[in-house]
Structure 1
Amino acid sequence: MGHDLLQLRSATPEDRDWIHELRHRVYAGELRQHAPDPTGRLRDGLDGDNVYLVAARGAHRIGFVSLTPPWAGRYGLDKYLTRDELPVLDDDPFEVRVLTVEPRWRATAAAPLLMYAALRWTAARGGRRLVAMGRTELLDLYRAVGLRPAGRTVHSGAVTFEVLTGGVTELTRHVTDRYGSALERLRATVDWRLDLPFAPGPDGCEHGGASFTAVGTDFRTLHRRHDLVMADVLDAWFPPAPGVQAVLAEDPAWVARTSPPAGAEGLLAEIAAARALPVDTLAVGSGSSDLIFRAFGRWLTPRSRVLLTDPCYGEYAHVTERVIGCRVDRLPLRREDGWRIDPARLSAAVASGRYDLVVVVNPNNPTGRHAPAAALRSVIAAAPARTRWWIDEAYLGYVGPAESLAGLAATDPRVVVCTSLSKMYALSGLRAAHLVAEPATAALLRRWTPPWPVGLPAQLAAVAALRDPSYYADRWRRTHTLRRGLAADLAAVDEESTVEESVANFLTLTLPPGGPSAARLVAECRRHDVHLRDLSPLSARYEGRTVRIAVRDTEENARIVAAVRAALDALRPAAAALAAAPAR
């Protein structure tokens, strides 16, 4: 890019000495916050954990902003306030530490763009809250992006700071609404080199499926699908059962032009027979998302309180927090615990009775871990009567029907089980799902279901699929074999990375600290027409280092392994240089 563009990038090893020198000039010399250092450099005890974003124009560095991510385990604010005095630090925020611009550039857009870059970086790493110390004379800059005082003031040397905080979703909406046009104009003047998009995506839940953009969402270049490995979505690697293909091919013109049964009566009857459930305990929808939006919209209000696990399928946070506006708490799942749901911790979290709804995705997506049905039954039995449970069993077929809580949901008014037919039955393009609830709850949801909730092709396909359980059981067994082979091959690519198998049709690959980011790996693999899912925006617990990879067939799995190997070979030199650079 030309030297006239303002470059935004992650700090390089060469930037570090300049950062320390500028920090000394400003905070020791200009502001007298710190005592002068004979070296003319001011370092930070969190330098090894901080993330630095730099603004430059050509060869001239203009300014930087530093962030402390929650996985550092400590914050700069810990030096000044206790957690009792500032409980927001217990919510795993990202801390904006230092925003510093060279004097001659302070009247330019550099500082606002660095603040914007910090917000975008935080969102791309799954951050839900920002906290910052803003110099009192610069509070207007922080307020302009939507940060608000947390009610605490900090004195450091000759400088007074106000502690400010804000939710990442709200801050993003505020900045987009207020400064969207200005940002769009600035975009043409910025050389954006960060591993995240300049602008936030459209308002909605972020899913996998970027691979379809490469195919072409206008459907004019569908032949591209033959060139791509679409491992960023969890669609089945296998085709639907022969009977499904036959019923769709028999008379496609009639299927396309004919209205389906308005209440999907035949599909409901088939599900009831296949699952040994009373038909009056069932409701169907056009995929799980349809059922989630419909049910949660009936049950919850902005006054409702919801408990989710973290990480968890992103649709649940989107609907509860962003669409309905509920108060949402998280039960953190930890890598060191194997990402498992601890029944004792879950039971303790719900014991107070403050939750209107608890969501458990089992097996969990994206962690791939399964909580035994017996343990969940015990937790639910001991839970307060007012708490409703939503159990998402979209991938339970990979574990086995004995682990389903559908039977409990059919009789317990507190429990609803939702099951997608899309992923397990290779019907993702047709969209079909059902839920199980005691008859009164199911009847209410059916009453709020519009006619023709599932199209005729989907109804025909789902019924045919349910009538061929042996075909799918064989495909699910084969999926386990393919997953194990893919995991072994990926583990052999890089001994510093961690491969974690799931119980379903995907696995995760976590890059080492100091290595390339998950976003960089995903971008590099796309150069080889292999699409993986960066889990960073879903949860800060992935630390920007984890990708999810869907299991494909043998040939495509080999392409995934080859692409990951080539990507890491291309990315390692830059990551190694950054990691080897001294932090002082």
Structure 2
Amino acid sequence: MSAPIDHGGGVTAAAAAFGGRPQDWLDLSTGINPCPVALPEIPTSAWHRLPDSYLVDAARRAARDYYGSGDTLPLPVPGTQSVIQLLPRLLRQGSPFAMTDDKIAMADDRVAVTDDRVAVTDDRIAVLSPTYGEYARAFASAGFAVDAVDDIAAVGGQHRLAVVVNPNNPDGRIWPAEALAALHDRLKSTNGLLVVDEAFGDTDPALSLAARAQELPNLIIFRSFGKFFGLAGLRLGFAIARQDILACFEDWLGPWAVSGPALSLAASLLRSDMAVIRRCLDDRSAALQAALGTAGLRIKGGTTLFTLVADRRASDIYTHLCRHHILVRKFDYAPDWLRFGLTPDPAADNRLGAALQGFER
């Protein structure tokens, strides 16, 4: 098994290293709405009873209408990380795309060994990179050969599955829907799958492929719930795909995978006024951009929910901010990058601005 990936959100560890109470730190290391929405009333029964099918159905219908997935009912999952880890199993045994035991036996003379993992070289995975690291980790840990590619043109017939995060994390790169649809068709011609992760897609719904789920049968879409609504601790996401693929996910996740309160909140909040949330995020994003610009930092990319900065002094800036109990995201594969999440209010804007202004250049 490969080593765990260092994600954002490690404020407890940062406080242990640099002092202060974790709750007093300004955590800008994640791409989560810093102004969580007001919670609607949750029926007592949602807490008291196991989540019955009517709660699941209500959440699925609300997600269908919100994401615009037509006849496809999105499947609620306990965070999209849970289904990312099921993707290797989907290829190996759970769908028409399966790598059967017979095929594995036939490929015995075509294997490559990397560390303690065995990869069948005829069953490669393409991940548009750099991006969220858990995709490559999940496939590599399951024994697949993973190709980190920088353009969808590099995805070929040797790839059993391709992953595109759109908009991308951490640089905000965007692929037009038509380009992704063409990639789907190219993969479909060799019986391959396309996974499009739209975790940061709520702020720009026009980018989503959800409305085309019916016409793109080899497509799987993952949507995050907690990032846009500021409720990451709820651990809720949705998968959009054809029914046999969703049935595999549902079976492997087991009964009651998503809690009743989470389903109840989804059914309510997915039918709420998104314009209010988007205006708030636009304001917060503009404030962050202003603070970074005033500090003379070069913005490399990002989305409404985060901004990526490129600077040769990134490591020193990171340490300097930690000493001021402000946590941002650094990257081992790009030592000149820092990702800044949104600040929650003007007081936090001022706190970040003052810390950046105090950095010795």
Shorter chain as normaliser: what TM range?
0.7 to 0.9
What is the root-mean-square deviation in Å for CA atoms of aligned residues? 2.5
**What is the distance in 1 between the residues matched to 2:76 and 2:250?**
8
1:289-312 per-position Cα deviation (integer Å, ceiling 9, x unaligned) = 011112333225742311112211
Contact 2:306 2:340 in 1 (8 A): yes
Note the C-alpha offset of 1:257. Answer: 4.2
Matched, 1:361 2:158: no
2:33 is equivalent to residue 239 of structure 1: no
State the shift of 1:428 in Å: 0.4
Distance in 2, Cα, partners of 1:212 & 1:311: 26
The reply on whether 1:207 has 2:1 as its aligned counterpart is no
- Provide structure 2 residue ranges, at least 5 long, that are not aligned to the other structure: 93-98, 100-118
Deviation at 1:237, TM superposition (A): 1.2
1:346 aligns with 2:152: yes
- Would the alpha carbon gap of residues 278 and 556 (structure 1) be closer, same or farther in structure 2, given more than 3 Å must change? same
Give the equivalent residue in structure 2 for 1:143.
none
What is residue 396 of structure 1 aligned with on the other side? 201
Measure the CA separation in 2 of the matches of 1:434 and 1:463.
Answer: 12
Counterpart of 1:329 in 2: which secondary structure? strand
1:307 counterpart residue number: 126
State the shift of 1:501 in Å.
Answer: 4.1
C-alpha spacing 1:278/1:442, structure 2 compared with 1 (3 Å): farther
C-alpha distance in 1 between matches for 2:306 and 2:69: 29
In the alignment, which residue of structure 2 is the partner of 1:457? 261
State whether structure 2 residue 288 is matched by structure 1 residue 486: yes
Kept in 2, the 8 Å contact 1:484–1:501? The answer is no
% identical equivalent positions:
24
Superposition pairs for residues 94-243 of structure 1, below 5 Å? 203-213=3-13, 224-225=22-23, 227-240=24-37, 242=38
C-alpha deviation, 1:490, in angstroms: 1.4
SS in structure 2 opposite 1:417? Answer: strand
Q: Is the 8 A contact 2:184 2:216 kept in 1?
A: no
- 1:457 is displaced (CA, Å) by 2.0
The secondary structure found in structure 2 opposite 1:491 is: helix
Amino acid at match of 2:50: S
SS in 2 for 1:320: helix
* 1:316 CA drift (Å): 0.9
Alignment-derived partner of residue 82 in structure 2: 290
TM-superposed deviation, 1:481? 3.1
Query: Using the alignment, how far apart are the partners of 1:521 and 1:229 within structure 2?
Result: 15
Aligned partners of 2:243 and 2:70: how far apart in 1? Answer: 9
- TM-fit CA distance, 1:559: 1.7
The residue aligned with 2:338 is 547
Q: 1:319 aligned to 2:124? A: no
Instruction: Give TM-score scaled by structure 1 length.
Output: 0.52
Structure 1 CA distance for aligned equivalents of residues 46 and 224 of structure 2: 22
Deviation of 1:224 (Å): 4.5
Instruction: Decide whether aligned partners of structure 1 residues 410 and 444 sit closer, same or farther in structure 2, where only a CA change above 3 A counts.
Output: farther
What amino acid does structure 2 have at the position aligned with 1:482?
R
- The 1-side partners of 2:67 and 2:294 are apart by 41
8 Å contact kept, 1:413–1:437: yes
Q: 1:455 and 1:215 mapped to 2: Cα distance?
A: 31
Give, as a single letter, the amino acid of the residue that structure 1 aligns with 2:34: W
Following the alignment from structure 2 to structure 1, what is the Cα–Cα distance between the partners of residues 46 and 243? 32
Letter in 1 for 2:339: R
Q: Aligned partners of 2:129 and 2:177: how far apart in 1?
A: 20
Kindly state the Cα deviation for residue 475 of structure 1 after the two structures are TM-superposed. Answer: 1.9
Q: Which secondary structure state, in structure 2, belongs to the residue aligned with residue 398 of structure 1?
A: coil
Offset of 1:231 from its aligned partner?
0.4
The answer (yes or no) to whether the contact 1:391–1:418 under 8 Å persists in 2 is: yes
Counterpart of 2:303 (choices 495, 500, 503) is 503
How many angstroms apart in 2 are the aligned matches of 1:279 and 1:228?
A: 45
Quickly say closer, same or farther: Cα 1:510–1:282, change in 2 above 3 A.
same
Distance 1:367 1:501 in 2: 5
Q: Highest CA radius of gyration, 1 or 2? A: 1
Conserved? CA contact 1:281–1:442, under 8 Å: no
Per the alignment, residue 56 of structure 2 pairs with 264
Give 1:451 shift: 0.6
The match for 2:175 is 371
Pair 373,365 (structure 1): closer, same or farther in 2 beyond 3 Å: same
Superimposed CA distance per residue, residues 440-493 of structure 1 (whole angstroms, 9 cap, x where no aligned partner): 22223222231111112211221121120x2x3222233223223322321221
Shift, 1:506, TM fit: 0.5
Q: CA deviation at 1:403?
A: 2.0
Deviates more, 1:410-419 or 1:275-284: 275-284
Q: For the structure 1 residues 281 and 510, does the alpha-carbon distance in structure 2 shift closer, same or farther, using more than 3 Å as the test?
A: same
Q: Which has the higher contact order (CA 8 A, sep 6+)?
A: 2
Q: Secondary structure in 2 aligned to 1:448?
A: helix
C-alpha separation in 1, matches of 2:247 and 2:47: 29
Q: 2:324 aligned with 1:528, yes or no?
A: yes
Task: Give the equivalent residue in structure 2 for 1:103.
Answer: none
Judged with a 3 Å threshold, the aligned counterparts in structure 2 of structure 1 residues 459 and 364 are, in CA distance, closer, same or farther, namely same
Per the alignment, residue 111 of structure 2 pairs with none
Cα separation, 1, equivalents of 2:248 and 2:222 = 15
1:476 to 2:281 alignment:
no
